[in-house]
């Protein structure tokens, strides 16, 4: 028998998924640099394909996948609603709404949406640090073909007090 230990690809993926949230939480700690390793959002911020007929199954569709707060102070409390609609023919169930960092909180009035029903994910962002920042919110649902959707918020954070040299 081989003395090397083998980890299956599915086990390795599960371990990676369990460790990723820890990395994001560490990025928002006090006095730390903002997270710079988050992938940039796609250039297209809206889904442009109009849906003329309801597709089979549940279909979660957001008006915008990205929101840019622009220049903000690190003392600001920023709010935004990511509006969505169930454009499918079956009931949409949202299983999880997970921000990438502790500086972002989300709210959702309910987790089940009937065909044609609209809703919004309420976002509250407390910027920390300084410089350009991109944060993500991951949505898991039973939406056919897009069970996991990532929303992006961007900002250019200015510290309330600055010291020279840093």
Please name the residues in contact with 44: beta carbons below 8 A apart, sequence gap of 6 or more: none
Alpha-carbon span 55 to 88, nearest angstrom: 5
What does the pLDDT read at residue 116?
A: 95
| pLDDT for 137 beyond 70 | yes
* 161 to 75, 150, 158: CA distances (angstroms): 10, 33, 9
What does the pLDDT read at residue 3?
A: 47
- What is the pLDDT averaged over residues 34-54? 46
What does the pLDDT read at residue 77?
A: 94
| pLDDT for 40 beyond 80 | no
- Tokens coding 56: 């089979």
| pLDDT for 59 beyond 70 | yes
Q: What are phi and psi of 96, to 5 degrees?
A: -155, 140
| pLDDT for 111 beyond 70 | yes
- What is the pLDDT averaged over residues 69-83? 95
- pTM confidence score: 0.65
Alpha-carbon span 117 to 140, nearest angstrom: 18
Provide the 8-state DSSP code for 91: -
| pLDDT for 14 beyond 80 | no
Beta-bridged to residue 134, according to DSSP, are: 154
| pLDDT for 45 beyond 90 | no
Domains of the chain as residue ranges with CATH: 11-35+57-158 (2.60.40.10)
| pLDDT for 86 beyond 50 | yes
């Amino acid at each position: 028998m081989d003395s090397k230990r083998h980890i299956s690809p599915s086990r390795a993926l599960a371990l990676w998924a369990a460790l990723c949230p820890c990395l994001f939480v560490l990025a928002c700690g006090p006095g730390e640099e903002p997270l710079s390793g988050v992938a940039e959002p796609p250039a297209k911020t809206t889904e442009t394909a109009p849906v003329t007929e309801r597709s089979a199954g549940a279909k979660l569709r957001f008006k915008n996948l990205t929101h840019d707060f622009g220049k903000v102070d690190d003392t600001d409390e920023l709010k935004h609603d990511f509006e969505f609609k169930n454009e499918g023919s079956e009931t949409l169930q949202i299983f999880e709404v997970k921000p990438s960092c502790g500086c972002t909180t989300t709210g959702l009035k309910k987790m089940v949406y009937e065909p044609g029903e609209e809703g919004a994910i309420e976002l509250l962002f407390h910027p920390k640090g300084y410089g350009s920042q991109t944060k993500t919110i991951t949505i898991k649902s039973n939406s056919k073909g897009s069970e996991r959707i990532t929303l992006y918020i961007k900002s250019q954070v200015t510290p309330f007090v600055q010291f020279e040299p840093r």
